[in-house]
Structure 1
Amino acid sequence: MRFQVRYLVCLMAAIQFTSCVVDATYLPRRMFQRPGVQELLANSAPALEKPLQALETRKPPVEVEIFVMSKCPDARDCVRDLVLPVMAQIYDSGIITLRPTYIGTPDDSNAGMACKHGPDECLGDILELCAYELHKDRPQMWLGFINCMGQNYQKIPQDAHVSNCASEYGLSFEQLERCAASEDENRGMELLRSSARRAIDRGISTSCTVTVNGKTVCVRDNGQWKGCTGSKEDLVQEVQHAYDNE
């Protein structure tokens, strides 16, 4: 992305971990430029291509939350193989809402952030949060974008990859860029800092963790499903059970 270069502290070398449990590499408040020269990975969320319409219900919808990191292979698998198929199946029943929360460590000394897979991940997290903030009521857009980004997470946050994923799902690359670069309240870095605090408050540090009405129901860690089978049917049943018992 096209942001001004300015490091406030020395960065540790970015190390790729298999297990995406928070253990972060630092990103200061001002981010830096990355060239965009890569191709789009073609397969990403075909089940959500059409707009989805939530129906009115007599009960509040079940709140499903995914705790993730943008450059984490476990998050990629979790979104692609579990969350996206569930949303495609039951979103338009009106019984479910979904939000992404990003795992990291806020540094309040200079309003910066630390992310496990380095500064590029912090910027990827911000871009995905911006997609969510701009299109909360259209998960076929923001969840499709997140899935597309994750399919080739090694290229996050290169301009070409971000731009192609945005174009694939009807998002404006320019709007995402403005949101990510903005220092206005609740934009850019502050979106990520707030999101990371939410994960910390809930005691969640593993990407990907899925909760239903605040209860952890499934974890994808180190290529393994934990506490669940990872099947779409089981998560649909969890959501339906939570809705029926509200």
Structure 2
Amino acid sequence: MSADAASGTEVESRGRRIEILMAVMSRCPDARAAEAVMDEVLARVHSIANMRLVYIGTFNSSSPYDIVCKHGEIECAGNIQQLCAAKYSGQGPAEPDVEPWTRGWRFIMCQNQEYADIGKAALAEKCFQDAGFTATGASLARGCWSGPEVRSMLRNSARQAEKLKASVSATVFIDGEYRCTRNGGQWVDCPGGSEADDFVLSVCEAYRRISYVWPEDICGPQPGLLHE
């Protein structure tokens, strides 16, 4: 199938989605800056991508969550709120052109608007509403972060970050490959660039590698090809 023919087909027929994974700390300024850039990226590639966050922490069985968070226990609470929001993001009726993970991502974007209050219950409640969570989804997320599963969720998330050797918030991976780090207020070690357009191109190129199709309706003209 040619790229032109494929560009008009539904995304579901094209192949699997490309995962954008970020290793972050919920109260880290660099995470907030990186998430703002990824929000621009997702606005363009959401129909061929999935977004997932893992949360960096240090293992310590004597801490309340079995994890020590760099910015204190309130950051651990923020990490847990975001993990639980992501888990129950898909609860409720589907929205046209909205992905199952979108409500969880909106929740994070909402929290980032009141950065100093991340981890506090009042902000989480506000962000459930702003992100469009159903009453059921919000209730399940609340039960999640106050229930017994949160320790294992936070441990598993920190273990994934450790496995990726991601100790700096924020570290970006696209389709399982290291892509870029935001640290100290700037992007560093970013083969392929650090602008939103650069990350979009990386997602599109990863999609082409696994599907053998360039989704021109999403990604624009394929680089290197002549167009009339």
Q: Which residue of 2 aligns with 1:123?
A: 77
Q: Which residue of structure 1 aligns with residue 105 of structure 2?
A: 143
- Residue 142 of structure 2 is matched in structure 1 by 177
Q: What amino acid sits opposite 1:98 in the alignment?
A: M
- Could you say if the C-alpha distance between residues 99 and 224 of structure 1 is closer, same or farther in structure 2, counting changes exceeding 3 Å? same
* Higher relative helix content: 2
SS at match of 2:172: strand
Amino acid at match of 2:204: Q
Which residue among 44, 48, 56 is the counterpart of 1:89?
44
Give the TM-score normalised by structure 2: 0.76
Q: CA deviation at 1:224?
A: 0.3
- CA-atom RMSD in angstroms: 1.8
* 1:66 counterpart residue number: 22
Structure 2 partner of 1:13: none
Q: Does 1:107 align with 2:60?
A: yes
Return the offset for 1:207: 0.6
Distance of 2:62 and 2:119 partners within structure 1: 25
Deviates more, 1:199-208 or 1:106-115: 106-115
Give 1:109 deviation, angstroms: 5.9
Q: Is the 8 A contact 1:180 1:189 kept in 2?
A: no
1:98 is displaced (CA, Å) by 1.5
Structure with max Cα Rg: 2
> Contact between 1:105 and 1:113, CA under 8 Å: does it hold in 2?
yes
Give 3-state SS (helix, strand or coil) of 1:193's partner.
helix
1:129, CA displacement in angstroms? 0.2
Structure 1 unaligned runs (5+)? 1-53
5+ residue gaps, structure 2, are 1-9, 91-98, 211-228
Task: Name which of structure 1's ranges 99-108 and 120-129 shifts more when overlaid on structure 2.
Answer: 99-108
Q: Report Cα offsets for 1:151-191 as digits up to 9, x if no partner.
A: 222112222211111110122544322110111xxx31211
Cα distance change, pair 59–221 in 1 and its aligned pair in 2 (3 A): same
Q: Percent identity?
A: 34
* Residue of structure 1 in register with 2:87 after alignment: 133
Q: Which residue of 1 aligns with 2:127?
A: 165
Which of 203, 210, 213 aligns to 1:239? It is 203
**Distance apart, 1:106 and its partner CA:** 2.5
In 2, distance between residues paired with 1:227 and 1:152? Answer: 29
Q: Return the match for 1:212 from 174, 177, 180.
A: 174
Q: Deviations over 1:99-124 (max 9, x none)?
A: 11111122246761110001000010
CA contact (8 A) 1:73 1:150 kept: no
What is the CA-CA distance between 1:219 and the residue it aligns to? Answer: 1.1
Normalising by structure 1, report the TM-score.
0.71
8 Å contact kept, 2:56–2:69: yes
Number of residue pairs matched by the alignment: 187
Corresponding letter in the other structure for 2:43: A
| Contact 2:32–2:112 (Cα < 8 Å) also in 1 | yes
Matches within 5 A, 1:22-37: none
Matched residue type, 2:107 = F
